[in-house]
Structure 1
């Protein structure tokens, strides 16, 4: 690992199981468990030599955590310059410049840089909250863009993923269970056939607060599998053994 030069307010957080470290600034935005669970949930197609794109990558957590599972190239797409720059330094810190690069751009305008129909796997941890007339957004610009659909909504995200993917390429996303109807509708309209769904629960006696989705471009209708749930915390607020293994256990490869 290359020792990075940290700027004011920055820190290094890591995922021991994948031996990956990420530069973050909590005053801007920090990744959380959803990014880790998405990278863990995402499968590898074939020998993992194809192109992977992480849409709305932020500081690059999802793409970097996924990187040890594959041998191919990964592109991190992030609209915010400050977060994209942090992602670039994290790539260098982990010695992954030969496989991972950052594209600082609006994901709707990346097709001159990434050829449509060329991508094997798309990853996305998008803003969870739709923008309505009554929406109260966070005052901080970085958090607004990360939490609210200011620059792209679910149908728009599904359209970008569809355009990027090869036929039978896969799209992996983490979102909120209350948006499931919107997710199924947006994906079906763009020929992204949902194949696996996994719910994540904060604690065993609570409602699910996350959902992990796998969809295939131009896949066959039907055959949706509901995977065993993930429970994040014990009643004592410690991680469950299941999550501890994801965070601190053997590499996912």
Structure 2
């Protein structure tokens, strides 16, 4: 079964048009998240979510209640998936108006607007109005590549999603550190080649790495994704979790990956019970 293709099965546009008066804009489609009957608005014109966002939503430790925030939320897939795991109030920040608008309509369509608030804002400034230490947990799927590296896509939405155009790694980690309370958790998905930068930046902002998991496309391939969680003002002690393998030798998705997508909870987060050593 091709999980990513399954997540991109567009539903006829009239479904959205008849639901609560919300209409799809030209080029938009409604995709099935394949959990809790959730659906999300996507478009080829902007950056759609991929496996990294889903894995982060499953990896992150979130409290059963309280306040959670997702930064660089894009079209809102991570807060929507987190809503299946917690009753906490979830805020989500996105700087691009087009994506923020899509996320707002998806939240309303799924009747999650009592739990999820989509905020169009710059994460570099948002903490100044939100306040310091006001969230119990933070998740973030930031741009992976420095602004000066790689070929930028001509599509502005894709370029902003992939490159540090509006925020650097340091900007992202500073925002996380300022927004999360002491003892609160920050979870991030990134690329393994930025690991040293991430560890150095986390510690500079008093976020102590606690759990790290590498994601490998195959058992004999190098990791191409990194999941990391840190605790604000935590004590030094980190766990390297077993690697997550995406494909079997037969080019099928592994049992664990399928379980993460389709399982009733979809979470393997060690420490989700709140007993993580701080």
TM-score of the superposition, structure 1-length normalised?
A: 0.94
2:41 is the alignment partner of 1:26: no
In 2 relative to 1, CA 230–166 (structure 1 residues): closer, same or farther, beyond 3 Å?
same
The answer as to whether partners of 1:202 and 1:231 remain within 8 angstroms in 2 is yes
Map 1:211-226; keep pairs closer than 5 Å. Answer: 211-221=226-236, 223-226=237-240
Quote the Cα distance in structure 1 between the aligned partners of 2:143 and 2:62: 24
State the 1:137 CA deviation: 1.1
State the 1:10 CA deviation: 1.3
State the 1:112 CA deviation: 5.0
Map 1:151-166; keep pairs closer than 5 Å. Answer: 151-166=166-181
The answer as to whether partners of 2:259 and 2:266 remain within 8 angstroms in 1 is no
**Structure-2 residue corresponding to 1:127:** 143
The answer as to whether partners of 1:123 and 1:172 remain within 8 angstroms in 2 is yes
2:84 is the alignment partner of 1:68: yes
Alignment counterpart, residue 245 of structure 1, candidates 251, 259, 276: 259
Alignment counterpart, residue 211 of structure 2, candidates 193, 196, 199: 196
State the 1:237 CA deviation: 3.0
In 2 relative to 1, CA 112–163 (structure 1 residues): closer, same or farther, beyond 3 Å?
closer
The answer as to whether partners of 1:55 and 1:125 remain within 8 angstroms in 2 is yes
State the 1:113 CA deviation: 4.2
The answer as to whether partners of 1:18 and 1:65 remain within 8 angstroms in 2 is no
**Structure-2 residue corresponding to 1:140:** 155
> Deviation per CA, 1:174-233, whole angstroms, max 9, x where unpaired?
000000000001001010000000110111121100010000000012x20011111112
State the 1:88 CA deviation: 0.4
Number of residue equivalences: 249
Quote the Cα distance in structure 2 between the aligned partners of 1:111 and 1:212: 24
Alignment counterpart, residue 172 of structure 1, candidates 182, 187, 190: 187
Quote the Cα distance in structure 2 between the aligned partners of 1:55 and 1:244: 26
Gaps of 5+ in 1: none
Alignment counterpart, residue 40 of structure 1, candidates 58, 61, 81: 58
Gaps of 5+ in 2: 1-14, 268-278
State the 1:95 CA deviation: 0.6
The answer as to whether partners of 2:216 and 2:223 remain within 8 angstroms in 1 is yes
Map 1:4-15; keep pairs closer than 5 Å. Answer: 4-15=22-33
The answer as to whether partners of 1:18 and 1:252 remain within 8 angstroms in 2 is no
In 2 relative to 1, CA 61–194 (structure 1 residues): closer, same or farther, beyond 3 Å?
same
